[in-house]
Structure 1
Amino acid sequence: MRIEIDKRGNSFCDFGPEKKAKKTRRKHKKAMPTAVQRLFEICNDVFAGAGSVPSPPQVERLQSVLDSMKPSDVGLNELMPYFEAEKNEGYPPITYLHVYECDNFSIGIFCLPPSGVIPLHNHPNMTVFSKLLFGSMHIKSFDWAPPPFDAVWPAKAKAETTSSVRLAKVKVDSDFNAPCKTSILYPTSGGNMHTFHAQTACAVLDVFGPPYNDSKGRHCTYFHEFPYPSFSGDAVSVQENGGEYAWLEEIERPGSLKVVGAEYEGPKIVDTL
């Protein structure tokens, strides 16, 4: 380093050409992408649109980045008002934070206060990744009963219900506590129909591929679960086959379900692809 004097008599430091170059290189060093940006970029690679299902290597790649994500990666903490316990009777409202959506996939976060419930619903022709960011919840999921039991139709159900009742097999019926692995469901397997019951305040980061779209046949349907013995008189052989079964009846969107939208305030996604 040498000291030089400018025309006004002020001194300044000249670091020489080598150190100037180093400073320039540091200035233009590329910033590391945020976790949510990496998630977005992988989703762009993994989801190819309607009718496609990610391959096992693609699933593993997306699951890996979701498994490592924390609440702070999406700007959340348990003290936010979304997670406050409700004093009123009935199910508390659930907040949905919309992060990103395109034709091939969507990214969003469900914020559930204690006792919050997302009723039993399906994901037609969709692959869904759900990451519990924090909290504890009970998840119960179903797939439609496999052949030949998918053709079982209880005569008693025809007389006692107003719509179709179909046999489903339980896939998951367990408590989950963060941190835990990402849950994955597929168009016809993995628990395509599921329900969430929050035991504590919790946040779930969801990736849908492709997203819901009524005009393209991806309409969210809700179900009421009847315990298997309810209509088992003419279908005892199914339960004897092993596994746990239930009867699911299509219903309108439950009036108890209250979902409110709020602005996502975490790190932003830069869509440059």
Structure 2
Amino acid sequence: MILGSLRRYLSMRHQNSNKVQTLYDHCNNIFSSFQTHPPSSQALQKLASILDTVQPADVGLIEENADDDRGHGFFGINQLNRVARWAQPITYVDIHECDSFTMCMFCFPTSSVIPLHDHPGMTVFSKLLYGSLHVKAYDWVEPPCIVESKGSGFSQVRLAKLSVDKVLTAPCETLVLYPKHGGNLHCFTALTPCAVLDILSPPYREYEGRKCTYYHDYPYSAFSTGNCPARETPTICEDEAEEYAWLAEIETPDDHYMRQGKYAGPVPR
């Protein structure tokens, strides 16, 4: 009986290791030459399918107590008062990083927030491993519609369209964002303790023009498109206004901080 239990344990360890290794191998295969040969849509779909099968134990995680509410809670205070909700540290766990892609995890306590930020020229896969997470994401309106913003504290704002605004609860499908669509600028808010496995390609590299920039979003009614060139001004009906927002670039929020965590899962080779 003991021998049988040991075999089952070793078999589970082997399967978990294989799943992480499969992720790594596929990423290495499709992203290693991204500058000259961008991955095909089929290859990206396969990666999303692999991620859909990943469970917390596969990457060395134990699901936290869903009742552990260590923050204000998503509905505990004014939703517009985001700074007050950025009170709990988020744990960042590095799994693998190279010149072509990054594999990492973010472990959120309840009510913690990764504020609205972009992924310039990047494709990002986000797999919710456990818990519930609110996702709000935008894409830039093209051609760019930029308004000078005198007196608001920001030099200018740029028009974006809402792409995603929903609550995810694990298990669920992997979210994918692309350089120009799918919600390249997004914000994550933890409704319960949760964890997200991310794959980013290419990775953030400031010296290569891929700097992470943070934004504050304003309702469409806050600014006028009157200063935009006519050819760059989209036609927006009144009932569509809620689908658009003006984004202003901001400094990294002072209350947004992360702590480094140690990866406890199988290491890809």
Percent identity among equivalent residues? 45
Q: Is the 8 A contact 1:46 1:62 kept in 2?
A: no
TM-score under structure 1 length normalisation: 0.79
Give deviations 1:160-205, integer Å, cap 9, x for gaps: 2333210000000111111111000111111110000100010000
Give deviations 1:107-141, integer Å, cap 9, x for gaps: 00000010010000001111100000011011000
- Asked if 1:92 is matched to 2:88, the reply is yes
Q: Is the 8 A contact 2:217 2:248 kept in 1?
A: yes
State the one-letter code of the partner of 1:239. I
* Residues 125-136 of structure 1 aligned to structure 2 (within 5 Å): 125-136=121-132
In 1, distance between residues paired with 2:34 and 2:188?
27
Give deviations 1:37-86, integer Å, cap 9, x for gaps: 11000001111234764221011110110001000100111238xx9543
Equivalent of 1:164 in 156, 160, 166: 156
Per the TM alignment, residue 95 of structure 1 is displaced from its structure 2 partner at its CA by 0.2
* Residues 23-102 of structure 1 aligned to structure 2 (within 5 Å): 34-47=18-31, 48-50=33-35, 53-79=38-64, 85-86=69-70, 90=85, 91-102=87-98
Give deviations 1:211-255, integer Å, cap 9, x for gaps: 111111111000011111111473896431846100000010011
RMSD of the TM alignment (CA)?
Answer: 2.3
Q: Is the 8 A contact 1:53 1:127 kept in 2?
A: no
Q: Which residue of 2 aligns with 1:203?
A: 195
In 1, distance between residues paired with 2:59 and 2:155?
41
Q: Which residue of 1 aligns with 2:236?
A: 239
* Residues 85-164 of structure 1 aligned to structure 2 (within 5 Å): 85-86=69-70, 90=85, 91-147=87-143, 150-151=144-145, 153-154=146-147, 157-164=149-156
What is the number of equivalent residue pairs in this alignment? 234
Q: Is the 8 A contact 1:132 1:203 kept in 2?
A: yes
Name the larger-Rg structure: 1
Tell me, which stretches of 5 or more residues in structure 1 are unaligned? 1-30
Tell me, which stretches of 5 or more residues in structure 2 are unaligned? 1-13, 73-83
Q: Look up the SS of the partner of 1:189 in the other structure.
A: coil
* Residues 234-273 of structure 1 aligned to structure 2 (within 5 Å): 234=226, 238-240=235-237, 242=240, 244-270=243-269
Q: Which residue of 2 aligns with 1:11?
A: none
TM-score under structure 2 length normalisation: 0.80
In 1, distance between residues paired with 2:156 and 2:42?
38
State the one-letter code of the partner of 2:260. G
State the one-letter code of the partner of 1:55. S
Per the TM alignment, residue 159 of structure 1 is displaced from its structure 2 partner at its CA by 3.8
